[in-house]
Structure formats: structure tokens, C-alpha cells
Structure 1
Amino acid sequence: MNFRTLGKTDFKISEISLGTWQVGGKWGDAFDHQNADKILNVAVDQGINFIDTADVYSDGESEKAVGKLVKSRSERIYVATKCGRRLNPHVNESYTTKALRNCVEDSLKNMGLETLDLIQLHCPPTEVYYRPEIFELFDRLKDEGKIRHLGVSIEKVEEGIKAMEYPNVCSIQLIYNIFRQRPNELLFELAKKNNVGLIARVPLASGLLTGKFSKNTAFSKDDHRNFNRDGAAFDKGETFAGVDYDKGLNAVEELKKLFPNADLPLIALKWILKSPEISCVIPGASKIEQLKSNLKTQEIADLSPAEMNAIETIYNKYIKADVHQRW
């Protein structure tokens, strides 16, 4: 396993880590603790030492599974969770220091931990980033020993740029993949300058970049890839990275032609890890096989300049006009 430093922290984390949105099973299914336990333990067995969760993943069940793992293993496992998304209504006014403190306390209870390694604001409304009192709260929580570091999980580049004005922000979690390339412009430059770690989520564009989907692929009614394509439940950028499904399929076909003998998910992960500003990528897994497949990324050769240019050409042809300036 290769390791990278997470921004201002002293955490040396696995460059391929684990996101736990669907670790208890497929999206829309009831949380399966037995399945989650197997995946989490295999992840640690394979060298993963950074696990990302959130209080809203399966209504706290994901946090409970991660906490159980940490307490059962001797290895140093860095735990990142998130707060804010369960505030209802999810608007700027709901973000109060009292509400967020309660969220942190609840996450500590869910996981049975005394301290959270990394707490991240979970895609709050943009206005929250312009409220210093929200960020000051986490300095107090750090002084109290409840958290070690603060990060933010963003929807828009603008939010990440604003977040970096607060010196206690150590990391930014963002959607970054072959279909969402804008962050590698100004945001990456500023992250490097400010020593802020970048955590890449949705690396496979909700599975679109696996190359396994078609126009006939069916998703269950409780799967966000079915109900959130137009942003009905949350930011549409979280679903297929905001890409129109049919245009995405056309772009994937071009990628398959470019890499006819390759495993496309590994190419997609390798493309992300080419950027030294990225601290880690957090693909999810609902099966052990998916987890082990993702880890094979480290076994394949780096992409050549010609391949990188060809990927950019495909992005420019099919994707850029729709997504580049939106997020």
C-alpha cells in the first residue's frame, strides 16, 4: 500500500482508502452489519487505514460498524465522519453551533470513541462557509479533545476556496474523477499552497466509469441513481457526477476504445491518483470483490501523457460543457 500525508495533519493515510456510503449493502437495501464487518476488516487486512463515513449513512449504522471495527483492531485506523446533513431543514439557518456540537456528540456515541480523527462539514449550504462562528466551534471541540482535525466536504469549487480561508480546515473532500475535472485548476493550486489535503469521492461517477452500465441498466427505486438524476433529493452532482446518463455512456464507450484491454475502474482511479495534491481516493464497496479490485490500481502502470491527453479530449467532447462551470 502507498501512503500520502493528509494536509496539515500528521496522518499518513492509504492512497486508496474506503468510503462507507454503501458498505452495508447496495444503495437502497437495509444495512447488513455482517457484510459491513467483512468488508471493513478485509480493507484493514489489505493495508487500508483511512475510512470515511457519515452520520446520515444508513441513519448512523455505518458509523456504528466503523466504530466496532476500530475497537476490534490493533492497527492505527484513521476515522473520518461528517456532520450537518441530518439537520432538517437542511438550510443555512439550521447550522448552529449547538446543533453541530450535538452532531459531533452523537457520532462519538455511535462509534463508541472518545475522539474523532477528522470531522467534516457535510456539504452544507454555501452560506455556511461565510460564517466564522461555525468554524470557530471546531477549535473549541479540538481543545475539548472531541476531535483532532476539521475538514469540509464540498459540492462546489467556490466552497473549497472559501473554506481554505479558515486556518483550522485541514482537508477538503470533493467529487473528482474523469468526468469532473475542474478542481485540478485553481482549487488544486490553492490546496497545495495552503497545505490542505484533498479526499476524492465519487471516483467512479456512481459506477458509470466501471463501464458495466448500459441504457437498459435498471436501478432500484431507493437507489439515488434512479431518483436523484435531476437533484430531487440532494445535489445532482452526487449522482453520476452530475453527468447526463446517456452522454456518460457515450463517453465511457470512447474510454473503452482507448483502453481495450484494461479494467476501466482501475484506469479511473489511476487517473485521480496521478495528482500529488490528492491525499487519497475513497471508492465505496458493497462487496469484498469490489474492494479487492480497487486495490489492484496500484499494480498497473501510470497513464502515459498520450493517454492523459486522450482522456481530456473525451471529457471535452462529451462532458465539459454540461458540468465544468456548474460545480
Structure 2
Amino acid sequence: MNKRRLGSIGPVSEVGYGSWQIGSDWGEVTESEAVRAVETARDAGIDFFDTADVYGDGRSERILGEVFGDDIENDDVTVATKAGRRLDPHEADGYTAANLERFAERSRKNLGVDSLDLLQLHCPPTDVYYNPETFTALQGLVDDGLIDAYGVSVERVEEGMKAIGYPGVETVQLIFNPFRQRPAEYFLDAAAEADVGVIVRVPLASGLLTGSLSASTSFPESDHRNYNREGEAFDVGETFAGVPYEVGLRAVDELDPHVPDRLSMASFALRWILDHDAVTTVIPGSTTPEHVRSNAAVSDASPLSEDAHAAVKRVYEDHVRKHVHHRW
């Protein structure tokens, strides 16, 4: 597993593991399935795990804490969590020092650690990025020893650009994949210039970019791919990367002939992301051990050809751009 430097946090595996799926919103996942997936990821060389305090109301954090134990404190693995979505209502005014400290304390307890490796604001309202007091509060958590570093998870490129203007922000997490290409226009270069780590989520567009979905695929009632297609529960960009389902299926069909024989569609998409040097780590999530191992193996795959990158660009322009580019 190759590693890349994540801000001041240090080197982490360039393929990480996204733990949303073992918490909630992806259908029923048993604890044994979740534990097996996490253990498989670690055995495959993954040492960066992303979670959040609202994934299963802390379930995801607790599972990671139980699986890894002292490995987190000993820096054998890095666990990044997120805070803010517990606010009800979820408004910018709620991102106060007191609330952030309360959320951090809860996550520390869930993970069983003295200090959180990385605390990220969890897709807060845009106004939060224009409130320096929130970032002063995060720095206060560092000074008090509750967290080692902080960053942000954003919905929009503009939010990421604003965030990297704060000197203490070590990381920005955002959606970036062959169906969400806008970050490559200027954000990735700006993040590299600011020495800010880039964490890429939703790399497979909620399964669209695995090539395993079809028009007849059905999703469980508790799966966000069922109940959030129009953004009914949270930002629609988190479901299928904001691409209308049928459009995404057609785009995948167009991409398929350009996938090298050595790669699956999912590996192709992950390799495309890692071919951008400013990306630090990509965090696909899965509860299927063979998928976890396949995702991890992308680190050793050769970069895609210029022709393959051109094909991804062409499919994006022809099918996807008009649905997503101006929105995120």
C-alpha cells in the first residue's frame, strides 16, 4: 500500500476506508459483517479510516474503537471523525465552542481514545466557513488536547476554497470522481499549494461506478439510494454523486469499453482519482471483503493512459456535466 502525506498528520494509506456503510443508511449491516470488513481493510494495508458521530448514532465510531483498541493511540491507524450533524436544527449558529467540545468528547468516548486524530466539520452550512470563531474553537480543542488536528468535510468546491484560507485547517474532504470533476479545475491545485490534505469521499458514486447496478436494481428501504434520490434527507449530491440514476447508468455504459482488462470498473474509477497527485487518500466503503481487498489493490495499479483519461473527460462532458458541475 502506497502512502501520501495528510497535512501535518503524516503519511496515510492512499486508499482508506469510509465507514458510513457500517453505521447506517446503506441497508441492514450486522455488527459481525462490519467488524469483518474493517479487519479486512486493515489486513489489506489500509491504515486510514473515516467515520462520523452520526453514522448509526455513533455505531461506526464504536466499532472502529473496539476493533482497533490501542492501535489508534499508538498511531498504527489514523481515524478521522466528523462532527456537527447532531445539531437540531442544523444551523450555522450551532457551531459553537461548547457544542464542538461536547461532540468531540462523545466521539472520544465512542472511539476509546484520549485525543481524536482528526476532527472534521461535517458538511456544515456555508455560513460556517465565514465565521472565524468556529475555527478558533477548533484550534482551542487542539490546544486543550482533545483533538490532534482539524479539517472540514464540504459539499461545494467554494466551501473548500474558503476553508483552506484558515491556517489551522489540515484537511478538506469532498466528493471527487469521474462523475464529479469540478474539484480538478482549481481546488486540487489550491489545496496542494496550501499543503492541505485532500480526502475523497463517494468515489464510486454510491455504486454507480462499480458497473454492478442496473435499471432493475432495487435498494432496501433504509438505503439512502432509495430514499434520498431527490435530496429528501440530506444533500442530494451524496447519493449517486448527484447524477440522475438513469443518466449515470448510461454514462457507465459509455465508460465500459475504456476500462483496461486488468481493472474492474470500480478499480478504474479509484485509479482515475489517485492519478491526481493532490489527492491524499480516497475512502471507498464496502462491507464485502473481496471488494475491500480489490479497492486496496488499486494502490499498486499502474496509472491510467492518456486515452483513458480523455475518455472519462468526454463521457463527463457528454452526459454528466450539465447535471452536477454548476451545483457543487
The TM-score bracket by the shorter chain reads over 0.9
Q: Which residue of 2 aligns with 1:286?
A: 287
2:16 maps to a residue whose letter is S
Deviation at 1:25, TM superposition (A): 7.9
Q: Which residue of 1 aligns with 2:298?
A: 297
Q: Could you tell which deviates more after superposition, 300-309 or 202-211?
A: 300-309
Q: Which residue of 2 aligns with 1:272?
A: 273
CA distance in 2, matches of 1:233, 1:285: 22
User: Is the CA contact (8 Å cut-off) linking 2:24 and 2:56 kept in structure 1?
Assistant: no
2:203 maps to a residue whose letter is P
Q: CA RMSD in A?
A: 1.5
CA distance in 1, matches of 2:147, 2:9: 14
User: Is the CA contact (8 Å cut-off) linking 2:2 and 2:300 kept in structure 1?
Assistant: no
Structure 1's consecutive aligned runs of 4 or more residues displaced over 4 angstroms after TM superposition are: 72-75
Q: Could you tell which deviates more after superposition, 290-299 or 221-230?
A: 290-299
Gaps of at least 5 residues in structure 1 are none
Q: Which residue of 2 aligns with 1:59?
A: 57
User: Is the CA contact (8 Å cut-off) linking 1:24 and 1:35 kept in structure 2?
Assistant: no
Q: TM-score, normalised by structure 2?
A: 0.96
1:151 match: secondary structure: strand
Note the 1:156-235 alignment, pairs <5 A. 156-235=156-235
Note the 1:131-146 alignment, pairs <5 A. 131-146=131-146
Deviation at 1:101, TM superposition (A): 1.2
User: Is the CA contact (8 Å cut-off) linking 1:255 and 1:314 kept in structure 2?
Assistant: yes
Identity %: 47
CA distance in 2, matches of 1:87, 1:20: 21
User: Is the CA contact (8 Å cut-off) linking 2:248 and 2:320 kept in structure 1?
Assistant: yes
Q: Could you tell which deviates more after superposition, 302-311 or 290-299?
A: 290-299
1:14 maps to a residue whose letter is S
Deviation at 1:23, TM superposition (A): 2.6
User: Is the CA contact (8 Å cut-off) linking 1:26 and 1:286 kept in structure 2?
Assistant: no
CA distance in 2, matches of 1:137, 1:117: 17
User: Is the CA contact (8 Å cut-off) linking 1:63 and 1:107 kept in structure 2?
Assistant: yes
User: Is the CA contact (8 Å cut-off) linking 2:152 and 2:169 kept in structure 1?
Assistant: yes
Note the 1:25-174 alignment, pairs <5 A. 27-29=26-28, 31-71=29-69, 73=71, 76-174=76-174
1:199 match: secondary structure: strand
User: Is the CA contact (8 Å cut-off) linking 1:18 and 1:52 kept in structure 2?
Assistant: yes
Q: TM-score, normalised by structure 1?
A: 0.96
Rate the CA distance shift 1:25–1:234 in 2: closer, same or farther, 3 A.
closer
1:52 maps to a residue whose letter is D
2:52 maps to a residue whose letter is A
Deviation at 1:99, TM superposition (A): 1.3
1:116 match: secondary structure: coil
CA distance in 2, matches of 1:75, 1:130: 33
